[in-house]
């Protein structure tokens, strides 16, 4: 396992391998946290993002762990069930079928457990409530309430070691996220955001995640480095 600097404050960062979590990891690193990157293999169809997550962790000098949680066994989402991923559709009319039930709650809970083990009081996640697909677990209210739960339901919280959940991108547009990532040295070409990327990480260019990502680069006036099929 990679050695990490001693004396620095520790933080657990949820890293999916997509552009938002990459920028979140870069932000935590810039704030001089000792970064522990956590990825969750939950049975998603786009597993190439997990390889991207490891590459990002190495790039930013983070220790990386992947935890397996089988959400495919309960299904209910186009990402974990035999349901087609919508293409070239507008998700503004409601919560899309790509929503994975309780995914961010589960991921943050695993991150919370690892943070307790590490003695870390800070957890970072890349949720965004501006240019996003309308998932209920990407809203500021959710992050606020999870942080409250974290401090009520853990040994650390009860003993007065306050836990903080950071969502530094939550009020940023995708264009702003692109700009911040470039400022911090993120190589977006190694990130994978597509809901149905192929084993080499090449994107479909048609799902909601691809469209939001492409629009972010366009709005930022930056060449899109995404590898498309």
User: Could you tell me if residue 95 is inside a domain?
Assistant: yes
Total-model pTM = 0.94
Q: What is the CATH number of the domain that holds 62?
A: 3.40.50.620
Residue 96 lies in a domain: yes
Q: What's the pLDDT score for residue 47?
A: 85
In a domain, 3, yes or no: no
Residue 1 within a domain = no
Task: Give the chain's residues under pLDDT 50.
Answer: 1-2
What are the strands of the beta sheet with 164-166, ordered from one edge?
63-68, 34-41, 10-14, 122-124, 164-166
What is residue 6's predicted lDDT score, i.e. its pLDDT? 59
Could you report the per-residue pLDDT of 99-120, keeping only the tens digit for each?
999 999 999 999 999 999 999 9
Q: At what angle do helices 103-118 and 140-152 cross, to 10 degrees?
A: 40
Number of separate domains in the chain: 1
Provide the 8-state DSSP code for 206. -
Residue 20's domain comprises 10-220
Rounded CA separation 64/52 (Å) = 12
Consecutive H or E run containing 197: none
Collapse the DSSP code of 145 into the 3-class scheme (helix H, G, I; strand E, B; otherwise coil) and give the result: helix
Query: Cα dihedral angle (50, 135, 109, 63), rounded to 10 degrees?
Result: 30
């Amino acid at each position: 396992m990679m050695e990490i600097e001693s004396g620095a404050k520790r933080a657990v960062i949820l890293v999916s391998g997509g552009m938002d979590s990459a920028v979140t990891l870069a932000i935590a690193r810039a704030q001089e946290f000792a970064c522990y990157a956590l990825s969750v293999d939950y049975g998603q169809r786009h597993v190439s993002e997990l390889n991207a997550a490891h590459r990002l962790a190495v790039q930013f000098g983070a220790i990386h762990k992947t935890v397996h949680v089988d959400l495919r066994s309960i299904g209910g989402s186009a990402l974990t069930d035999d349901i087609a991923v919508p293409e070239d559709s507008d998700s503004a009319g409601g919560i899309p079928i790509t929503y994975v039930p309780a995914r961010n709650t589960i991921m943050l809970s695993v991150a919370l457990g690892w943070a307790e083990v590490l003695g870390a009081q800070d957890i970072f996640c890349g949720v965004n409530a501006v240019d996003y697909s309308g998932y209920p677990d990407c809203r500021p209210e959710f992050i606020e309430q999870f942080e409250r739960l974290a401090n009520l339901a853990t040994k650390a919280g009860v003993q007065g070691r306050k836990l903080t959940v950071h969502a530094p991108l939550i009020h940023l547009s995708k264009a702003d996220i692109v700009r911040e990532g470039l400022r911090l040295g993120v190589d977006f070409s190694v990130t994978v955001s597509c809901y149905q990327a192929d084993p080499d990480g090449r994107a479909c260019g048609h799902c909601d995640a691809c469209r939001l990502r492409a629009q972010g680069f366009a709005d930022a006036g930056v060449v899109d480095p995404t590898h498309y099929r």
